Chains A and B, each alone.
Chain A
């Protein structure tokens, strides 16, 4: 009898912890939605979504989110283009090629990579990577989108590598045996059989990498220069959604128009990451089938 009761209690607790997560997500969304909608009482939705200037403290203020959205998009695309080939290559090497001892070393190094605080990377960006890029590429300033993309690529690598590696490892052994049996070389097996077979998992890895990059704040705030201008190239300064919220939140009086505008920016970020995670989830599910 006592056992039954305790089992019931434990079951209820576990159920509750599951529900808590759902409640949190839903209430965060509602909270963001409520405060963002307050903005649209005084500021038109069109000016917010399609406005091309972000001038929060001018009279009258302009809250056009386009420069910030494009800033985030550019930095994220740059980071993903840099990080995906390296990440998948590293995952292939670790999963299929590397000898056991090297595998262990690499895996623990990647874990350390994931543990570097972003503010440290930002600092490296300011004092070393920025000036280095400025001198080698002859830029006006090293505080530009590319510096941010490089550092973010570095930050997303651990996510991309470990999830891709899992996907590659989970390809059934029979596939490899069949390929070798037909006389395929190791490279042919890896490139034509294993990679396509694990593609869903790899797409999920890329998506989660994007999610990691787009939400990152500290690094981009420190190294991208934060000019709220529509970026014409990755080699120019730009301002991301996250850096805007972080840089301006402290000075807004709660309940002011600027405050609500930052919540609306937060809502956009939330929707973007939600969609990305959803795609990643669908891909992971397909990979498991």
Chain B
């Protein structure tokens, strides 16, 4: 009796999978999108819209960090790697050695926002100030006209593209060959959300993240370079006025084909770009990817 029930249950599962009639011209398949935590919300929205348009293609989106996405592209574990930084020459070399030819698409632009607690009186900092804070040379908010309070530095884990971007642009001030590191006291948190939580709760904290994560619970600082300071918002990033602006990338293995091509076209098309706008990023005008 039990056996019979088990068989019926198994059969019903097996049949459920093929009960639907699929138009043979309809694209079907499975796409694994993996990578940047900065873009994960945008990628999730794109995949939802994409699946509305192509109901027989299943898209799975996971975050973890740009490094995670690039590593799994190289390890052939994903179809599209999302990244908030460019692939390093070393990574491209390893990829080519494994028969993976990464092709780069710029999908949107982002500003890296620096956030502090709402009760922090400071509104703007220069890049050099940020450099001094994040390398541990300045340790008290008083030095910048704030309260007499030790600075708590928050950073993302090393797998984050934003971590690497920030390290290059702020900690090392964009100098090639610089060996400066984040201060030893830096907390490495595993997600952008964890940074938001800690900054919202702790007056001493300062952290950085993609501007899509800026919320009303924290305060984004105006960042100054060459005597001009501005907030990370869509206009300032579009006009390249905000100093910590950067492109966001999707990578595929070689020229995208089949369903992967469909999702790339969708992402770069108006509907995909609309999702970036809705999640707080700046859309790109270009629709043609450049060779990576």
Q: Give residues in A with beta carbon < 8 Å to B.
A: 55-59, 126-127, 131, 134, 140-143, 221-222, 225-229, 237, 239, 247-248, 250-256
CA distance A141 to B186 in the complex (A): 11
CA distance A143 to B181 in the complex (A): 21
**CB proximity of B158 to chain A, nearest CB, Å:** 5
The answer to whether A237 touches B185 (Cβ under 8 A) is yes
The answer to whether B71 touches A251 (Cβ under 8 A) is yes
B66 contacts which chain A residues (CB < 8 A)? 251
The answer to whether A141 and B190 touch (CB under 8 A), given A58-B181, A250-B68, A254-B75, is: no
The answer to whether A250 touches B198 (Cβ under 8 A) is no
Chain B residues touching A, majority SS: mixed
The answer to whether B75 touches A229 (Cβ under 8 A) is no
Give how many A-B residue pairs fall within 8 Å (CB-CB): 87
The answer to whether A226 and B71 touch (CB under 8 A), given A55-B181, A140-B204, A250-B64, is: no
B201 contacts which chain A residues (CB < 8 A)? 131, 134, 142
CA distance A215 to B70 in the complex (A): 28
Q: Which of B23-64 contact A (CB under 8 A)?
A: 64
The answer to whether A134 and B202 touch (CB under 8 A), given A250-B64, A251-B71, A254-B75, is: yes
Q: Is B102 an interface residue (CB 8 A)?
A: no
The answer to whether B150 touches A140 (Cβ under 8 A) is yes
Max chain B Cβ within 10 angstroms of own Cβ: one of A134, A141, A226, A252: A141
Chain A residues touching B, majority SS: loop
The answer to whether A141 and B159 touch (CB under 8 A), given A227-B184, A253-B75, is: no
The answer to whether A221 touches B158 (Cβ under 8 A) is no
CA distance A242 to B91 in the complex (A): 25
Q: For A229, give its contact among B179, B184, B190 (CB under 8 Å).
A: B184
A58 contacts which chain B residues (CB < 8 A)? 179, 181
CA distance A248 to B186 in the complex (A): 16
**CB proximity of B106 to chain A, nearest CB, Å:** 21
A141 contacts which chain B residues (CB < 8 A)? 152, 187, 198, 202, 204-205
B262 contacts which chain A residues (CB < 8 A)? none
B118 contacts which chain A residues (CB < 8 A)? none
Q: Which 6 A-B pairs have the closest CB atoms?
A: A251-B67, A251-B159, A250-B68, A225-B187, A226-B188, A229-B184
B72 contacts which chain A residues (CB < 8 A)? 250
The answer to whether A57 touches B64 (Cβ under 8 A) is no
The answer to whether A140 touches B184 (Cβ under 8 A) is no
A-B contact pairs, 7 of them (CB 8 A): A142-B201, A142-B202, A228-B188, A247-B157, A250-B68, A253-B71, A256-B94
Q: Which of B76-98 contact A (CB under 8 A)?
A: 91, 94
**CB proximity of B66 to chain A, nearest CB, Å:** 8
Q: Which of B141-195 contact A (CB under 8 A)?
A: 150, 152, 157-159, 164, 179, 181, 184-190, 194
CA distance A126 to B187 in the complex (A): 14
The answer to whether A253 touches B91 (Cβ under 8 A) is yes
B74 contacts which chain A residues (CB < 8 A)? 253
Knowing that A226-B188, A228-B184, A237-B185 are A-B contacts, what are 11 other residue pairs whose CB atoms are under 8 Å apart, sorted by A's residue number?
Answer: A57-B158, A141-B187, A142-B202, A143-B198, A227-B186, A229-B185, A239-B188, A248-B158, A250-B65, A250-B72, A253-B71
Closest to A246 in B: B190
Q: For B158, give its contact among A56, A140, A222, A225 (CB under 8 Å).
A: A56
The answer to whether B184 touches A247 (Cβ under 8 A) is no
Q: For A126, give its contact among B70, B194, B205 (CB under 8 Å).
A: B194
CA distance A57 to B158 in the complex (A): 7
The answer to whether B189 touches A226 (Cβ under 8 A) is yes
Q: Is B235 an interface residue (CB 8 A)?
A: no
CA distance A140 to B194 in the complex (A): 16
CA distance A227 to B183 in the complex (A): 9
**CB proximity of A229 to chain B, nearest CB, Å:** 4
B188 contacts which chain A residues (CB < 8 A)? 225-228, 239, 247
Q: Is B255 an interface residue (CB 8 A)?
A: no
Q: Is B286 an interface residue (CB 8 A)?
A: no
**CB proximity of A139 to chain B, nearest CB, Å:** 10
The answer to whether A247 touches B190 (Cβ under 8 A) is yes
CA distance A59 to B89 in the complex (A): 13
The answer to whether A126 touches B185 (Cβ under 8 A) is no
Q: Is B278 an interface residue (CB 8 A)?
A: no
CA distance A131 to B200 in the complex (A): 11
The answer to whether A250 touches B67 (Cβ under 8 A) is yes
Q: Is B257 an interface residue (CB 8 A)?
A: no
Closest to B157 in A: A247
Q: Is B197 an interface residue (CB 8 A)?
A: yes
